[in-house]
Chains A and B, each alone.
Chain A
Amino acid sequence: MADNDPDRRKFLKVATCALGGGVGLVAAVPVLRFVVDPATRTTVTTPGEPLDLGNVDRFRVGAPPRRVEVIAPMVKDGWTSARDVVLGAAWIRRTEPTKIEALSAVCPHLGCAIGWEGKDFLCPCHDSRFSVTGEKMSGPSERGLDPLPVQIKNGRLQLTWVRYRTGSSSREPA
């Protein structure tokens, strides 16, 4: 009988595997490419231009750092868009009438939000401490707090929001 023909059996085995595997592959490739798609693009847009943080007079010289929400006029998140989206927070300190410093509230260690503890900054997740100027004092963070670019324009404070890569000693955009 032909069914016992070893060559025929071998051919059938190979053909079955090839056809089955081919169908599987054709089905799997688009699905895999589809699933990794978000990882290959900017799904959440954050504006690169300076954002308005209000009248500069809100910040007094010598006052302790003040937390300000950084709000983007428009953010696209996947398939949605929204106005006035809170991107994160910055800690603002006016050192001189014409000099304002801003520190990102994102902990450079693993990205938690830092808080002001009266004398220094504390990240409550893993207890990294930073001085008022953002230098690392203790804890697992490998670098100090990240300064954010600010400028004063027509009496208003403007800040450029940048999210840096966490968990490294060098400061590079995420």
Chain B
Amino acid sequence: MIRAFLRDRIPLGRAPSMMAGGASFAHVFGTVLVFLLGIQALTGVALSAFYSPSTTDAWASVAYIQDQAAWGWLVRGIHYHGGTALVIIAGLHLLQTAISGAYKQPREVVWWLGVVLLVLLIAWSITGYWLRWDQAGYWASQVEIGIAAGTPVAGRAIRALALGGNEPGNLTLTRAYALHVIALPALVTLLTVFHIWLARRHGTTPTKVANTAVRRWPAQTVKDVIAMAIVFVVLLSVVIVQHGTDLAPPADPTTAYDARPLWPVRWLFELRVLAGGLEQLAAMAAPAIVGGFLLALPLLDHGTERRPMRRKLWLGALAGLFALIGALTVASFARDANDPELAKRLAKAEVLANRARKLAVANGVPVTGALDVYKTPRMWKARSLFATRCANCHDATSKERKGPVIAPGHGDRHWLTKFLQAPSDDAFWGKTKLAKTDAAMKPVELPASDLADLVELLYAESGAEGIDAAKRERGLKVFESACTDCHSREEGVAGASGPALAGLGSRDHYTSLISNPKSALHMGADHSEMPRFDRELTIVERDALAEYLVWLRTATEQDLRALGPL
């Protein structure tokens, strides 16, 4: 009996070369889908020649495709939006088939293959979205795997299989990659070939009752090609308008991101919101109900009647289902569009994404991972250390400043002059504990030329270039008469009551000062509130800060801004 059933439905004879009912635009969907699959294969193979499935490289390789490889954005855009087109047109194909009653006996198997293919297409796009390993793809994968992990009984096993282990990592990506570029394409191709082979053997379901059979070529083919051209033009337009497609910042397991699923399953996201406490049930039951209904449709709507008006019940149910899914999808996008807080967070993420992509182009992505791309600007390490460890006491804008302001020009001739004239000015020692005591340095009162000579001498200690030797020579005499009561210029010798000035403003001097400001060579144990950093920071970190301070001496505010944000 099963054999007889299958013999009718899987006829092994020759396919009819005539199309019953004549050529029609109603029959173009299948051909357009094959065309799109071809485009996906072509762009997909090209993309796979660039893509690198590892947690450290995935985002970097996608950013490279998008921003550096010739036409990379176009190929990536066609692949991304081509996936969208596939799902949309597969949906239309399904609707057309349903309306014309083409799933009816003996074409049920063709329909079932089609439904399975639609599900596979959606799974295909979801696995593709993960591969970006940007914030959007990464968090979508985490949530989707999280939902799958909620499956009764098998949940843990599904999670481990999908992740390829216990945590998201390299094996998560290699698996998603294997699925996306090998397993799913192979399966879809196999089922598609079977689907078409069967459909051809059964012949098209006539759209008109009158018998006007024509040859497929060229009457139908010309319509197919027109439809392909229209779809391709629309696809290209979208790709060009969007310059490919977006790329969020690199995956960051520490930073909140408004993850949203890819649009074909967006209706489930909205359903979860509406389902409240029953969300897990909704996430599992809804797709099962929709899939089950589609598979059962040829059995529910049986009989030979094909006219849509005579099949109101089942076509109505199908239309209702599609309308509901459409409404949920629209509602979800509308909710996000009307959320000003979300818009702010997304704008922030976009700024971050643009920065990461620019840095990736300019500096390359470190092999340690895409997140380290943020650390590639010059002196990033020192600046971030300064921001977290120094700025509170030394930044001009800090409300809790306790020490001298450190800003561009710190330690240059102008700065030294101003400092000598008023050491306890607010920008210098004014905020320190020292300034309020007798030990504070007194303003240096000297004729302008003597002061300039002294400044040249002190400035020369930093090892800076462009020193006026004559001025420095004269400055030495000024120093001897005005400063030596408290200060020493001799290497490694502390002054009587002030810091040693040997090498003042040099990288070594700063490293030593940062390491232990309470040393007798620097501020002394009683005069400084600055903590010692030799136990807090590594020598490499202290040296990086020292290098930064030396750089600041000749830098301007503009130079600092040009280094970019942290």
**Of A39, A82, A124, A140, which one neighbours B256 at CB under 8 angstroms?**
A124
Write the B436-468 contact mask toward A (1 if CB under 8 angstroms, else 0): 000000000000000000000000000000000
Of residues 33 to 88 in A, which have CB atoms within 8 Å of B's CB atoms? 36, 38-44, 46, 55, 67, 69-70, 77-80, 82, 86-88
Query: By the criterion CB–CB under 8 Å, are B146 and A111 in contact?
Result: yes
A113 interface residue per 8 A CB criterion: yes
- Tell me the nearest residue of chain A to B258, going by C-beta: A124
Cβ–Cβ < 8 Å partners of B258 in chain A? 124-125
Query: By the criterion CB–CB under 8 Å, are B165 and A38 in contact?
Result: yes
Query: By the criterion CB–CB under 8 Å, are A88 and B254 in contact?
Result: yes
B473 interface residue per 8 A CB criterion: no
Min CB–CB distance B355 → chain A (angstroms): 18
A123 interface residue per 8 A CB criterion: yes
Taking A39-B164, A112-B142 as contacts, is the C-beta distance between A77 and B169 under 8 angstroms? yes
A166 interface residue per 8 A CB criterion: yes
Query: By the criterion CB–CB under 8 Å, are A167 and B142 in contact?
Result: no
Cβ–Cβ < 8 Å partners of A43 in chain B? 163-167, 169-171
Query: By the criterion CB–CB under 8 Å, are A110 and B142 in contact?
Result: yes
A147 interface residue per 8 A CB criterion: no
B536 interface residue per 8 A CB criterion: yes
A134 interface residue per 8 A CB criterion: no
Interface stretch among B89-97, B273-281, B318-326? B273-281
Min CB–CB distance B10 → chain A (angstroms): 21
Give Cα A101–Cα B233 distance, bound, in whole angstroms: 58
**Of B139, B164, B276, which one neighbours A38 at CB under 8 angstroms?**
B164
Q: Number of A interface residues at 8 Å Cβ cutoff, please give it.
A: 42
**Of A88, A123, A140, which one neighbours B253 at CB under 8 angstroms?**
A88
Taking A112-B142, A112-B259 as contacts, is the C-beta distance between A140 and B254 under 8 angstroms? no
Query: By the criterion CB–CB under 8 Å, are B143 and A39 in contact?
Result: no
**Of A55, A77, A87, A111, which one neighbours B142 at CB under 8 angstroms?**
A111
Give Cα A78–Cα B279 distance, bound, in whole angstroms: 34
Query: By the criterion CB–CB under 8 Å, are A167 and B150 in contact?
Result: yes
Give Cα A39–Cα B55 distance, bound, in whole angstroms: 18
Write the B337-361 contact mask toward A (1 if CB under 8 angstroms, else 0): 0000010010000000000000000
Min CB–CB distance B541 → chain A (angstroms): 12
Cβ–Cβ < 8 Å partners of B170 in chain A? 43, 77-80
Contact surface of A with B, Cβ cutoff 8 Å: 36, 38-44, 46, 55, 67, 69-70, 77-80, 82, 86-89, 105, 109-115, 122-127, 140, 163, 165-167, 174
Contact surface of B with A, Cβ cutoff 8 Å: 54-56, 139, 142-143, 146-147, 149-150, 157, 160-161, 163-171, 174-175, 252-259, 272-273, 276-277, 279-280, 342, 345, 368-369, 371, 536
